[in-house]
Chains A and B, each alone.
Chain A
């Protein structure tokens, strides 16, 4: 896979990372080496096995619809930088909203 500065900037934007021009320049050879490393997997002979991540399971293995325990409100809020009563509070977002569809 060809890694160039445009791709690095694009991925950085999707990951909401602010990179300086110097960091972008550094990333190009680093990411190229990482991809080259992973690409070695392509050389494996897997015969005619279907591409699959895992073997499928049947419906009988799934969880029944019985409610389990929930976290207490204090625990839910404990990792949040800010909260207002029971609500988590974040900086107002809208314009930068991603698609929830």
Chain B
């Protein structure tokens, strides 16, 4: 039995930046267009076509880097990475070799021990995406769509600080959350605007280590975890049974096969030198003024982990509530507007996570589809907490205004929905209820406490549901004796 190895995972994440056009040409790019319709001469690498850098791609890359706590380069430059691949029409990719835009930084996650854990970022550089190819099952041809070629990618490379599959999943979730908050990428793995390649190897207590394996073609966060789990088992077995280590086995690339739930060998790695990187002669180096960087830094929103901590520590919400409400920046922004700075956070959180989420789930809607404004919910909360509305009426009104967006205060005034808290009116209603439910009054006085519920219900009915239940209860106690 081989003793348990230490697992080392480094992540390479390719993040497609949310620009309207490509990195080095004004060709538009968006997901889901008809094949080969978002192409211009630069994308095809036609003779005489020259790349021109997109300022917005640089800005979004800097913004992402700042959100990760990276250092932004004073001077950054472009390099050609040479290789032949049908989805790379020029025969090289414009990338960054030795002077990346961002260096250093970190993503904080919850480690497997539940404590905060820092995953260091080595670097992040801007480069162009490749096209997309599909391989017919068993066929002799591959089909290529070059729409994606040239779209701006930020490649974010972590240090191998991740030590399990579940930490890798949490790292990706954290990264996705950060880019969603700073608005630099859609971060959607299904649509390929966030792609992740874990680099996995094992270190045994005797110092032996397995060769690093890079896993490609993974399309969900969960599958990143599954692929790493598979590699841990596979590499440990090859070490135990065949004595395979980094000494006698080259690094390799494997592909994730979702149906088989396994990684499949694709190729042995060429060494980095074989890409024959050299400075891109068609693009000058870029100088980035500090004033620009500081302006971008000042515009960063509160980031998800900081916000979660504030919800717990300052607003007094439970860890669970804080987690749910900060999980989506739109939901979080909605909640904060409904909170309006002074309402009770727990009450507003209950409305958002209860009635609002139930409504969204029931009707399969997005937050943006909701007619009710956060301020409208705030109004409803105020009317309930000052006693104007009882809980039941408030919920009924919510169901109405969430779809219509109508003003709660106006509806209350129009329909006379305000809770009846006039003592005289409540007493009259309770007396009327006791008359109508004379049998129940008799039963109650004869020692059947359950009969009281019928009188209470009748009293609420007399008040058309707008009585304050506590007050009705109190009056009923007095009159029943």
Contact = CB atoms under 8 A, between A and B. Distances in A.
Interface of A: 14, 16, 52-59, 62-71, 73, 76-77, 79, 82, 84-101
A54 B280 CA distance: 10
A78 B376 CA distance: 58
Mostly, the A contact residues are: loop
A63 B84 contact: no
Nearest to B276: A14
Given A14-B276, A87-B35, A101-B155, A70 B287 contact: no
16 contacts: A58-B287, A59-B59, A62-B52, A65-B19, A68-B26, A70-B28, A71-B41, A76-B36, A79-B44, A82-B141, A84-B143, A89-B142, A93-B86, A96-B267, A100-B88, A101-B214
Contacts of B214: 101
Nearest to B28: A67
Interface stretch (B132-140, B403-411, B416-424, B431-439): B132-140
Contact of A101 (B12, B54, B140, B281): B12
Interface string B12-56: 101000011100011110000011111111001000000011111
A60 B28 CA distance: 21
A96 B142 CA distance: 13
A101 B274 CA distance: 13
Contacts of A53: 77, 279, 281, 285
A89 B37 CA distance: 16
Contacts of A52: 285
Contact of A59 (B267, B279, B292): B292
Contacts of A16: 84
B143 A89 contact: yes
Interface of B: 12, 14, 19-21, 25-28, 34-41, 44, 52-59, 75, 77, 82-88, 93, 130, 133-136, 139-146, 155, 197, 214, 253, 266-267, 269-270, 274-276, 279, 281, 284-289, 292
Contact of B55 (A54, A64, A88): A64
Given A89-B142, A99-B253, A59 B21 contact: no
B20 A86 contact: no
Contacts, number: 158
A14 B130 CA distance: 19
Given A57-B284, A73-B36, A68 B83 contact: no
Given A65-B20, A70-B39, A88-B36, 9 more contacts: A57-B285, A71-B41, A73-B36, A87-B143, A90-B86, A91-B140, A92-B142, A95-B267, A96-B267
B83 A99 contact: yes
A58 B55 CA distance: 10
B285 A54 contact: yes
Contacts of A93: 85-86, 133, 135, 142
A55 B134 CA distance: 41
Contacts of A91: 140-142
A54 B284 contact: yes
A71 B40 contact: yes
A66 B141 contact: no
A44 to B, nearest CB: 18
Contact of B266 (A68, A86, A97): A97
B143 A67 contact: no
Nearest to B78: A53
A35 B135 CA distance: 41
Given A57-B286, A59-B292, A93-B142, A68 B88 contact: no
Given A97-B267, A101-B155, A66 B284 contact: no
A65 B21 contact: yes
A55 to B, nearest CB: 7
A70 B113 CA distance: 52
Contact of A71 (B39, B139, B144, B253): B39
Nearest to A54: B284
Given A56-B287, A62-B53, A77 B36 contact: yes
Contact of A76 (B44, B83, B86, B292): B44
A86 B143 CA distance: 9
B197 A68 contact: no
Contacts of B54: 62-63, 65
A67 B150 CA distance: 13
A68 B144 contact: no
Contacts of B274: 14
A51 to B, nearest CB: 10
A68 B83 CA distance: 28
Contact of A67 (B21, B134, B142, B253): B21
B270 A99 contact: yes
B21 A86 contact: no
The winner among B19, B57, B86, B135 for most chain A CB atoms within 10 A is B86
Instruction: Name which of A55, A62, A65, A76 has the most chain B CB atoms within 10 A of its CB.
Output: A65
Given A53-B279, A69-B40, A71-B44, A90 B141 contact: yes
Contacts of A101: 12, 14, 155, 197, 214
A87 B34 CA distance: 10
A92 to B, nearest CB: 5
Task: Give the 3 A-B CB pairs with smallest separation, nearest first.
Answer: A68-B26, A62-B55, A65-B56
